[in-house]
Amino acid sequence: MSPNAGLDAVKHYKSAAWTSTERAQIYDRTTNSTSDLTHFLTTEFIGLLTQRIAPGSAVLDLGCGTGVLTKALAALGHDVTGVDISQAMLDKIDAHVGPGRITLRQGDVYALPFADASFEGVITRWVIPHFRDWPLIVREAARVLRPGGTLVIDHTSRANYALAAREGALDHASFGYDPRVRGGEPGGFYAATTVDELQLVADTAGLDLLDVAPLGFFRQNAVIAAVLGAEGFQSYKKAVDAFYQDPGARAFIQWFERHVTRALPLDMANGMAVVLRKRG
């Protein structure tokens, strides 16, 4: 087997899955819900970009899927371009949200169909960790970003997996994310990284690493999954979803995620929000 066989298998599997109409329907249904914790975390994530760019900025939603971030940014008054490899995903986006503010393009995140320095902001969620060679995507995002512009990405914490390994045996199949280069299925692969690696990738791409913070303590958390076991973790997730429907519990969880999770060490949550700025 060639050294790139695993990398290619992941790319081919995930690209084929995302371009299917059936997957687009499932993705649209699960990511566009406004009643769960994921919606709150995504709103907070978007804020990491909007607080750093001017009103009406040109923004790229890289790997936009069915437009969760695209529509939210357009509603906030930004001129948003959404790019995705899947036309089936793009077809789910109502481009009339924020009239005249949404442009959709089918394209590859490894070779974006835009000129250098086209956007004041670039944002991407649920994309980067899907690929082993994710630094190439970061470099391409930096290319289309204007000097001084902001790039916001999400990633997963290798430290969270390390802590989980000390606390118990993590069932990767049940957890849903598998950062292992070997031993996992292509569809389950989800890269993990460290601050040192992020710094190296940033330097290579001509970016300053401004902030790395935990994202979503109550969501995917390898430590909780390892301690509870496969069945226990599934019960835990159902319990969080149920509690989140109670206004008081929802208010506490949102307060905790906003004020406590961001201050925790990176090993305490599986997700990370990463903010970078293009030099120049």
CATH of domain 5-278: 3.40.50.150
What's the chain's average pLDDT? 90
**Nearest-5° Cα angle at 97, 102 to 75:** 85
Q: Domain residue spans in the chain? A: 5-278
Residue 1 has pLDDT above 60, yes or no: no
Question: What is the pTM for the complete model shown?
Answer: 0.90
pLDDT, tens only, 5-17: 555 666 666 666 6
Q: For 200, how many CA atoms within 13 A lie in the half-sphere containing its CB?
A: 8
pLDDT, tens only, 50-93: 999 999 999 999 999 999 999 999 999 999 999 999 999 999 88
Q: Is 152 helix (H, G, I), strand (E, B) or coil?
A: strand
Looking up tokens 């995002």 gives 141
Q: Is 81 helix (H, G, I), strand (E, B) or coil?
A: strand
Question: Strand 207-215 to strand 271-278: parallel, antiparallel, or no bridges (unpaired)?
Answer: antiparallel
What are the structure tokens assigned to 48, written together?
């990491």
What is residue 174's predicted lDDT score, i.e. its pLDDT? 86
